[in-house]
Amino acid sequence: MKPPLPEIRVSPPGELNEAPRQAPPPIEDPAYPWAEEELEALVEMRNEQRRLHQETLDAMGRMAYWSFRAQRAANRLEKTMGELRSYMDEVLAEQEDAQDHEENGCTVLPLSLTK
């Protein structure tokens, strides 16, 4: 069973200035029975905060890793597509040359077939 909470008294503003205010007792030294529960709740909350912070850092690390991998893959794809385009341009140019030569009566093998 929880101990009863202390009575809370609200003073008018005039009384507040006259009475010197005492600091609340430090939580590490539980003078009240419920302060121990507050301390446990604070410790649990801090542990949960640490766990969430660690999870966030881990997730950010994974996101950075996969973002880096995706960027590298995009760069490789762009390079490969550029190489493919230039190869296709070469093949088309060779085919056009071959057609020109055939029209002139010559037979020329495209370079891609001689490699």
Residue-wise DSSP of 69-82: HHHHHHHHHHHHHH
**Closest Cα partner for 88 from 57, 110, 61?**
110
Residue 22 lies in a domain: no
Note the pLDDT tens digit of each residue in 99-114. 877 776 665 565 665 5
Compare 97 and 79 and report the one with higher pLDDT.
79
Note the pLDDT tens digit of each residue in 43-70.
999 999 999 999 999 999 999 999 999 9
CA dist., res. 19 & res. 10, Å (int): 13
1 within some domain: no
The domain in which residue 48 lies consists of 33-105
Predicted TM-score (pTM) of the model is: 0.44
Domains contained in the chain, number? 1
- Domain membership of residue 44 (yes or no) is yes
Structural contact between residues 27 and 35, judged by C-beta atoms closer than 8 angstroms: yes
Q: What is the pLDDT of residue 96?
A: 87
Percent of the chain with pLDDT over 90: 46
- 16 located within any domain: no
Give a yes or no: residue 84 inside a domain. yes
